[in-house]
């Protein structure tokens, strides 16, 4: 069976989020060395939530491809549970937190760029990478 485009797209999104997480960990920023590290930033937490969500999507797609037409009731029950988990995670975590992070970032960015993304960060994160990540790695609000 050939993969449908949505399945290929989910794999691509998962790989891009994983690569962004790896790249984020490679960036040395002073705020990462303080209490809480990267986990004190809602944008980092959102990035992890999105990566886990798309991992579950890929797992669901692979499971549905492997169990299609098998007729095994137990496998179909497990697949329904996995689909329910995927749908719950989208409705409760991935979508609301993702929309909140992006909306708040761009509202604060429009109000005062220096408050949310100082020009100093242009030395750490190049412009092309910044635009490619669509505000996912802009964790600069520190509470210390």
Q: What is the pLDDT of residues 18-58, one digit of tens each?
A: 777 777 666 676 766 778 777 788 888 888 898 889 889 88
pLDDT interval class at 84 (50, 70, 90): very high
pLDDT interval class at 88 (50, 70, 90): very high
Structural domain includes residue 109: yes
Structural domain includes residue 28: no
Structural domain includes residue 7: no
Residues 10, 15, 17, CA angle at the centre, nearest 5°?
Answer: 95
Residue identified by tokens 């939530």 is: 49
Structural domain includes residue 143: no
Structural domain includes residue 137: no
Number of domains the chain is built from: 1
Dist. CA 42–CA 45, nearest whole Å: 5
Structural domain includes residue 102: yes
What are the CA-CA distances from residue 53 to residues 29, 47, 70, 84, 122 (Å)?
27, 10, 26, 12, 30
Whether the predicted pLDDT of 122 surpasses 60: yes
Structural domain includes residue 1: no
What is the domain extent for residue 95?
A: 38-126
């Amino acid at each position: 069976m050939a993969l449908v485009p949505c399945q290929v797209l989910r794999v691509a999104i998962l790989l891009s989020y994983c690569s962004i997480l790896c790249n984020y960990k490679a960036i040395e920023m002073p705020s990462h060395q303080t209490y809480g590290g990267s986990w004190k930033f809602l944008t980092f937490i959102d990035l992890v939530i999105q990566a886990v969500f798309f991992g579950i999507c890929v797992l669901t797609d692979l499971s549905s491809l492997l169990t299609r037409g098998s007729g095994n009731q137990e496998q179909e029950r497990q697949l329904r549970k996995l689909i329910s988990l995927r749908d719950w995670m989208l409705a409760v975590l991935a979508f609301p937190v993702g929309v909140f992070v992006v909306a708040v970032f761009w509202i604060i960015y429009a109000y005062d760029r220096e408050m949310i993304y100082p020009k100093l960060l242009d030395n750490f994160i190049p412009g092309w990478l910044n635009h490619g990540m669509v505000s996912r790695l802009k964790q600069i609000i520190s509470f210390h």
